[in-house]
Structure 1
Amino acid sequence: MSFKFENLIIWQKSMDLGEEMNLLARSFPKEEIYNLSSQLRRATDSVALNISEGSILQSNAEYRKFLGYSIRSLAEVVTCLYKAIRREYLSKINFEKHYKDCFDLMNMMIAFRNKLK
């Protein structure tokens, strides 16, 4: 027995991304605990949360709307990554890895959303 979102690769990858971003946020300076660290955690958690919420008892049009929220939250994660590299909390190599993960996930979510009519 499982919820249908548990089988979605986009949900699984968004869960993985959330754990990666949580670890990253822990490495930020203590003064960022209520700012960038918190924002990064909330944005990345929102990606998976909206995928799962939209999948339950929703029409395809409503599900597409929730996937749009997830995609926008992912854009917020990317902006947090840019903030982190500008503040020198993140190396260029780690930025590029996380950026690619976000970009790949975004493309997967858009492709999935486009399949819903």
Structure 2
Amino acid sequence: MVRFRFQDMEIWQMAIEIAGKLFDIADGLEKKRLYRFAEQLRAAGMSMSNNIAEGSGSNSDKEFCQFLNIAHRSTFENANILILLQRRSFIDQATTDLLLEDLDHLCRKITNFQKSLK
């Protein structure tokens, strides 16, 4: 079976796991007819793993770091969306807290991985 480089990366595995949780929230938002929130959450959720995957195909570490920077920034976008959703009572505090912890952990892992490439 063919495997891409990114599939073995812990940061990609974490990002795809978090994205799944964000998609679950987005599914619930759609049931409440909050389509724009759901769409934005899915896009930002995919951006993390997409940029790690795309960057892993780069020809240089410098270029890969640029993609990792975008993935890193997407974690902040997701955190912001979750905080907004919680403040509007669309998701509960416990869910928000758990996902913010996951996003923070991923952020730190991405940063450490970037440092290893420099």
TM-score range, shorter chain: over 0.9
Question: Who is 1:78 aligned against?
Answer: 79
Provide the residue aligned with 2:110 in structure 1.
109
Q: 1:14: which partner in 2?
A: 15
Q: Distance in 2 between matches of 1:61 and 1:75?
A: 22
Cα distance in 2, alignment partners of residues 51 and 68 from structure 1: 9
TM-score by length of 2: 0.94
Shift of 1:36: 1.2
Shift of 1:32: 1.6
Aligned to 2:32: 30
Structure 2: runs of 5 or more not aligned: none
2:58 aligned counterpart, secondary structure:
coil
Match of 1:96 in 2: 97
Please tell me the residue identity of whatever aligns with 2:108: N
User: Aligned to 1:27, what secondary structure does the other structure show?
Assistant: helix
Deviations 1:29-84 (A, max 9, x none): 53321x11110100010100000100113200000000000001111000110111
Paired with 1:18 and 1:99, the residues of 2 have a C-alpha distance of 12
**SS of aligned partner of 1:90:** coil
State how far apart, in whole Å, the 2-side matches of 1:27 and 1:67 are: 29
| Number of the residue aligned with 2:64 | 63
- Measure, in 1, the Cα distance between the counterparts of 2:62 and 2:80: 27
The aligned amino acid for 2:20 is E
Root-mean-square deviation (CA, aligned residues, Å) is 1.1
TM-score of the pair, normalised by structure 1: 0.94
**Which 4+ residue blocks in structure 1 deviate beyond 2 angstroms?**
none
> What residue ranges of structure 1 are gaps of 5+ in the alignment?
none
% identity of equivalent residues = 28
